């Protein structure tokens, strides 16, 4: 699963909980940030094999610390706790359910990965591996990514009042994510090294976080300038 993860970020953000979209963009990919970092450190292992599955070249044969069910739950609790602590220290407004929502956003990553991945997700440590393997079916997997993303964006737009210009920016951002997914699923390319792949993960995911941050600033300045 790739851009489909962001559907959860868009869907979780409401006017009531006021969780910044960029924070949710980090949350839904938190497990992959840990994974990419651990692969760079040589602790988790990845093979990039052309044609490994129809929709992905990633053979994540050893990623027990970022992607086992047990550690996914632990990372979700850690993320919820960190958000709660940071919010309390900075005195920002948040309702009681917000840390729980952050935790669920982090955990949603594992559930969506479970649908797409071949049987490479361990229940604990590196054993009892599960995965429904939708990546073996390229078109249905692509359709699910796009349907999820579109649904998430539709919820975001209906549940958050915003100026038209920002609405346009959100739709443009969503379109860009669709194009990125088309490139990832359908454009043939040579297999990169494991290090280059996870470096790309860090770069692209962080770029999306920055865009999510920028999008929610659109129209804000104009409002505050109004006397």
Alpha carbon distance 224, 18 (integer Å) = 18
Written as six digits, the tokens of 165 are: 């210009």
Q: Is 32 in the site for Zn ion (CB under 5 A)?
A: yes
- Taking the complex as a whole, the smallest distance from the CB of residue 198 to Zn ion amounts, in Å, to 11
For residue 194, what are the CA distances in angstroms to 44, 56, 119? Answer: 11, 13, 19
Tokens 């632990």 map to which residue?
74
Alpha-carbon separation of residue 4 from 93, 147, 148 (angstroms): 29, 8, 6
Query: Number of residues in contact with Zn ion, rule: CB under 5 A?
Result: 2
What's the min distance (Å) between Cβ of 90 and Zn ion?
A: 29
Structural contact between residues 84 and 105, judged by C-beta atoms closer than 8 angstroms: no
Query: Measured from the CB atom, is 160 or 185 closer to Zn ion?
Result: 185
Residues within window 92-151 making contact with Zn ion, judged by CB under 5 A: 113
CB of 224 to Zn ion, least distance (A): 38
- Report the nearest approach of Zn ion to the CB of residue 131 (Å): 11
Question: Using CA atoms, how far apart are residues 119 and 83, in angstroms rounded to an integer?
Answer: 32
Q: Which is nearer to Zn ion, 30 or 83 (CB)?
A: 30
Identify which range of 25-33, 90-98, 148-156, 218-226 contacts Zn ion by CB under 5 A: 25-33
* Binding region for Zn ion (CB under 5 A): 32, 113
């Amino acid at each position: 699963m790739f851009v489909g993860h962001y559907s959860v970020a868009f869907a979780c953000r409401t006017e009531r909980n006021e969780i910044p979209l960029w924070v949710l963009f980090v949350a839904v990919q938190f497990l992959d940030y840990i994974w990419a970092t651990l692969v760079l450190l040589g602790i988790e292992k990845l093979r990039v094999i052309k044609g490994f599955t129809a929709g992905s070249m990633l053979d994540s044969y050893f990623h027990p610390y970022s992607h086992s069910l047990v550690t996914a739950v632990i990372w979700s609790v850690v993320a919820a706790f960190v958000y709660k602590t940071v919010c309390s220290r900075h005195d920002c407004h948040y309702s009681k359910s917000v840390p729980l929502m952050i935790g669920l956003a982090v955990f949603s990553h594992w559930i969506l990965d479970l649908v797409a991945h071949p049987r490479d997700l361990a229940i604990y440590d590196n054993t009892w591996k599960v995965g429904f393997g939708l990546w073996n079916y390229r078109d249905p997997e692509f359709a699910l990514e796009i349907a999820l993303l579109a649904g998430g964006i539709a919820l975001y737009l209906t549940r958050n009042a915003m100026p038209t210009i920002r609405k346009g920016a959100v739709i443009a951002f969503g379109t860009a994510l669709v194009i990125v997914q088309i490139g990832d699923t359908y454009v043939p390319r040579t297999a990169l090294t494991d290090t280059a792949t996870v470096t790309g993960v860090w770069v692209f995911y962080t770029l999306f976080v920055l865009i999510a941050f920028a999008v929610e600033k659109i129209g804000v300045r104009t409002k505050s300038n109004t006397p």
